[in-house]
Amino acid sequence: MSAGSPPPTTASCPPSRSPRWRGRAAMRDLFVVGIVLASLPITLIRPWVGVLAWTWLSLMSPHRYCWGFATTFPVAELVAIATLVGCLSTADRQPIPRVWQVGVLVCLWSLFGITTTVAFNPDPAFYQLIEVSKVLVMTFATVVLINDRRKLFYWVVVIALSLGLVGLKGGIFTLLTGGQHRVYGPPGTFIGDNNDAALALCMTLPFLYFLPRLVRGLDLGRWWAWLGRAAPVLTLFTAIAVVGTYSRGGFITLAVVLVALTWRSRYRVVVAGVMVIAVVVGAGMVTIQWKARMGTIETAEEEDSSFRGRLGAWEGARNIARARPFTGGGFHAFQGWVWDAYFPPEGQGHDVHSIYFEMLGEHGYPGLAIFLLLLGGSFLQAERMRRRARRLGNTEVETYGAIIQIALAAYAVGGAALGKAYWDYFYDLIILLVLVHTLLPLAADGPAADEAGVAGVAAATVARWRPPERPRGGSPPPRVARWAVGSPRRGA
């Protein structure tokens, strides 16, 4: 994280060009690229490890924190290729689940292809289609390769820590500078802007908040206990980092997330009391600039030219949808001559900063309807899954349901003012819901689980995840092999 107006970022504005600095920069580049290259042979053998590496690179973008050749090194492409090659050659995978989210994603992907053929700006639209297709291909690879309970947990840990460490860095920066500067993500990434970084951190807060409960429930051993103790610290600093972004939309989203976390907590009174104390203490520590920035939320429409431009851009998206209701303008529609033809004067030169108007203007009413179905339907299913798991006493599924629901709520609220309709993180949440629904017993539909009751489901869970028995007279298998090998393919 970094700061400034304009923001001096550690990735783009190094402090000096001395030989000592160049040596440190080279070491940082070699370290990040070395980790990626070392993961490639492992990914070819265990492709689910490639899913973890891809998630880390797509969410955190560690190579963008470097100052040398690593910033342009194709780390994500190498990991994606190795993962797909390993996926085709391994038997440790599962069929794509037959759930409604998969069908909706395929429909949305197909619509993207159709709208690209009639796009206002064909060349940029085709390039964006390729980029979105990469995300969706890896999304389906994740569904296939994350095929047991442990892998699912490791993937969730990677999601939490990838952005939790960014939040830790931003929170420390905010405290050390007294909140005088804004928190940004690495430039050239999905979280490079302060508003984008705030949304990403808000969506990560439920992962960090509920991570200790998942660690206790899985009983992974003492070595993982540090993660449960570190998660509350990461949660605190991540919330501070959101405040340090100076993002008005991020502040509103943070308030929604904190209320939801309090409501979903088992100790609501205690958590609410701690949050009230934190708000009172924080109100006395924030800067005058921050208070002035947040004070413009109510008067943004009259006083903020940027917000008025955003409203004009939303009107332009509606005009495109009226003219082309079934296809919209295609990817990258909001530029060039389209501004003059469809946008009011105050909206010209502005991008449509809204996931909803972005889908409406670029893919018409069908695109918006499919997107809302995916977002709203997944939110409702997560709530249903959480309630059912709580009734049957399965803490793990209940926790996953709460994480997914709060993160989707943060995306729905914060994304209303940000153009993040094609962001990896959103599709990761959808796939997380699909995997919990598929892999964990209580997430399955039908009356069987309800009739079995708590005892029957618990017995089925223990039987399914019991480690292999040790042969008589033999030594126990290595501990690493128990998690690295994974589960055999279903039906094998």
pLDDT digits (tens, 9 = 90+) for 261-282: 988 887 777 777 777 777 666 6
Enumerate helices (H) and strands (E) in the chain, giving the number of each: 19, 0
pLDDT band at 302 (very low <50, low <70, confident <90, very high): low
pLDDT band at 483 (very low <50, low <70, confident <90, very high): very low
pLDDT band at 19 (very low <50, low <70, confident <90, very high): low
DSSP string, 358-392: HHHHHHHHHHHHHHHHHHHHHHHHHHHHHHHHHHH
Residues 389 and 321 in one domain: yes
Residues 323 and 393 in one domain: yes
Cα–Cα distance measured from residue 199 to residue 249, given in angstroms and rounded to the nearest whole number: 8
Measuring CA to CA, how many Å separate 19 from each of 16, 23, 25, 28, 311? 9, 6, 10, 14, 49
Taking residues 191-217, what's their average pLDDT? 93
| Nearest by Cα to 145 from 74, 215, 89, 106 | 89
Cα–Cα distance measured from residue 406 to residue 384, given in angstroms and rounded to the nearest whole number: 13
Both structure tokens of 381: 């299913």
Residues 53 and 112 in one domain: no
Residues 107 and 193 in one domain: yes
Q: Evaluate if residue 10 carries a pLDDT over 70.
A: no
Q: Evaluate if residue 431 carries a pLDDT over 50.
A: yes
7 domain residue, yes or no:
no
CA quadruple 257, 234, 436, 203: dihedral sign: positive
| Nearest by Cα to 363 from 374, 371, 354 | 371
83 domain residue, yes or no:
yes
Both structure tokens of 111: 């619509």
Q: Of 246-250, 257-261, 263-267, 315-319, give the lowest mean pLDDT range.
A: 263-267
pLDDT band at 478 (very low <50, low <70, confident <90, very high): very low
417 domain residue, yes or no:
yes
Asked which of 93, 122, 146 is the last residue of a domain, the reply is 93
Residues 241 and 139 in one domain: yes
Residues 89 and 103 in one domain: no
State the pLDDT at residue 38. 95
Q: Evaluate if residue 414 carries a pLDDT over 50.
A: yes
Both structure tokens of 296: 């413009």
Q: Of 89-93, 273-277, 382-386, give the lowest mean pLDDT range.
A: 273-277
Both structure tokens of 162: 């990838």
Residues 134 and 67 in one domain: no
Compute φ and ψ for 184, nearest 5 degrees.
-125, 165
Q: Evaluate if residue 440 carries a pLDDT over 80.
A: yes
Q: Evaluate if residue 428 carries a pLDDT over 80.
A: yes
Taking residues 454-483, what's their average pLDDT? 43
464 domain residue, yes or no:
no
Residues 283 and 304 in one domain: yes
17 exposure class (CB count in 10 Å sphere: 0-12, 13-18, 19+): exposed
Both structure tokens of 87: 């996926």
Q: What average pLDDT does the chain have?
A: 83
Residues 222 and 240 in one domain: yes
Taking residues 285-299, what's their average pLDDT? 70
Asked which of 43, 69, 93 is the last residue of a domain, the reply is 93
Output the pTM of the full model: 0.84
Q: CA 164, 166, 172 angle in degrees (round to 5)?
A: 100
Q: How far apart are the first and last CA of the chain?
A: 47
Q: Evaluate if residue 300 carries a pLDDT over 60.
A: no
Q: Evaluate if residue 344 carries a pLDDT over 50.
A: yes
State the pLDDT at residue 449. 41
State the pLDDT at residue 416. 93
Q: Evaluate if residue 190 carries a pLDDT over 80.
A: yes
Taking residues 55-68, what's their average pLDDT? 90
Range of the domain at 139: 97-439
Residues 86 and 196 in one domain: no
Whether 87 and 482 have beta carbons less than 8 Å apart is answered as no
Q: Evaluate if residue 377 carries a pLDDT over 50.
A: yes
**Of 302-306, 375-379, 466-470, which one has max mean pLDDT?**
375-379
State the pLDDT at residue 323. 94
pLDDT band at 139 (very low <50, low <70, confident <90, very high): very high
State the pLDDT at residue 446. 43
pLDDT band at 67 (very low <50, low <70, confident <90, very high): confident
Taking residues 278-296, what's their average pLDDT? 70
Residues 88 and 126 in one domain: no
119 exposure class (CB count in 10 Å sphere: 0-12, 13-18, 19+): buried
Asked which of 76, 93, 110 is the last residue of a domain, the reply is 93
Whether 54 and 431 have beta carbons less than 8 Å apart is answered as no
Total domains present in the chain: 2
